[in-house]
């Protein structure tokens, strides 16, 4: 068994876990990883790779702990941790390939020195005060959101169907808000039942005042409790800012400092879950049409 160096969770560094490197059996099992089940697959992958002595259920980790753990396993389980990115250079206008050593992302890793939740805030629901605490989404919450998303009605169609879809999308956003909160003094043990109570409260909030105060509080939490890899979320896309690298075009060879670029690339958990897919094994295979079906035509 190949062991990976200890991993302290970025949101609570007192919790330290250890993973083993994925083997062929594991990669064969996880070749089913798909974008629609990304979070459920992430939980299973992170739990299966952990050693029993230091086990901590990755459902209880924040989404950033989970992503950072995937990256940690990736960089520590391969000889070559580079990923190549192709882009049009803004300095010289040429197309470049940048081989990024993913280990360099460690330089911008953030670890929380405080508990991963905000001081409680008193927020009103139809004038009635309630005490909420905001905290980052955890694995259980993102899995639940992923399941709700899979139940969305089909997109498009006639106007009624398009409206039904839009309504459910907005609903999902309210659920996401509910999962980033807890009510002070709430004794409900089932996380989904507790979220339902918060969902019902948020649904009754006055739009222009009470909901606004809540969204400001949650936005403040997201900015204050940043941790893990430097991943940004904008317009539904998670992106990671790569470290700077220099333009190698000849026209800058005389200059004291060559211009540099920081690439912003999409981050998906799935990319860090191993897949034997069309890689080394498939390239060795003589079985026609087994992996690339088009070869059979």
Cβ 88 to Zn ion, closest distance in Å? 9
* Contact residues for Zn ion, defined by CB under 5 A: 89, 91-92, 247, 249
Q: Which is nearer to Zn ion, 193 or 251 (CB)?
A: 251
| Residue at shortest CB range from Zn ion | 89
Please identify, using beta-carbon distances, which residue of 85 and 199 lies nearer to Zn ion. Answer: 85
Q: How far is the CB of 230 from Zn ion (least distance, A)?
A: 23
Q: Determine contact, residues 20/9, Cβ cutoff 8 Å.
A: no
From the CB of 89, what's the least distance to Zn ion, in Å?
3
CB of 216 to Zn ion, least distance (A): 41
Distance CA 174, CA 148 (A): 12
Closest alpha carbon to 186 in 176, 171, 169, 201: 201
Nearer to Zn ion, 93 or 156 (CB): 93
Q: Which is nearer to Zn ion, 94 or 128 (CB)?
A: 94
Pick the closer one to Zn ion by CB: 89 or 145: 89
Cβ at position 100, least distance to Zn ion in Å: 15
In the complex, minimum distance from the CB of residue 249 to Zn ion, in angstroms, rounded to a whole number: 4
Interaxial angle between packed helices 159-179 and 191-204, expressed in degrees from 0 to 180 and rounded to the nearest 10? 110
* Min CB(257)–Zn ion separation in Å: 14
Of 89 and 133, which CB lies nearer to Zn ion in the complex structure?
89
Looking at beta carbons only, is 78 or 251 nearer to Zn ion?
251
């Amino acid at each position: 068994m190949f062991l990976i160096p200890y991993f302290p969770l970025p949101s609570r560094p007192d919790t330290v876990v250890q993973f083993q490197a994925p083997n062929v059996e594991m990669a064969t099992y996880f070749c089913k990883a798909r974008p629609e089940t990304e979070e459920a697959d992430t939980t299973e992958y992170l739990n299966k790779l952990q050693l029993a002595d230091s086990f901590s259920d990755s459902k209880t980790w924040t989404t950033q702990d989970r992503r950072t753990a995937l990256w940690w396993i990736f960089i520590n389980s391969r000889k070559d941790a580079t990923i190549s990115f192709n882009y049009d250079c803004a300095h010289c206008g040429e197309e470049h390939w940048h081989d990024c050593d993913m280990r360099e992302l460690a330089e911008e890793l953030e670890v929380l020195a405080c508990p991963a939740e905000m001081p409680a805030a008193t927020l009103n629901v139809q004038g009635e005060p309630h005490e909420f605490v905001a905290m980052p989404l955890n694995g259980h919450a993102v899995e639940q959101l992923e399941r709700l998303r899979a139940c969305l009605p089909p997109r498009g169609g006639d106007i009624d169907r398009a409206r039904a879809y839009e309504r459910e999308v907005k609903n999902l956003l309210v659920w996401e808000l509910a999962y980033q909160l807890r009510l002070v003094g709430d004794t409900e043990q089932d996380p989904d039942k507790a979220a339902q109570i918060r969902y019902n409260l948020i649904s009754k909030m006055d739009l222009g005042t009470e909901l606004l105060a809540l969204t400001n509080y949650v936005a403040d939490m997201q900015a204050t409790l940043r941790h893990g890899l430097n991943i940004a979320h904008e317009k539904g896309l998670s992106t990671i800012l790569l470290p700077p690298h220099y333009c190698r075009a000849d026209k800058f060879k005389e200059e004291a400092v060559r211009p540099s670029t920081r690439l912003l690339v999409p981050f998906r958990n799935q990319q860090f879950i191993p897949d034997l897919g069309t890689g080394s094994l498939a390239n060795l295979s003589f079985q026609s049409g087994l992996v690339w079906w088009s070869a059979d035509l």
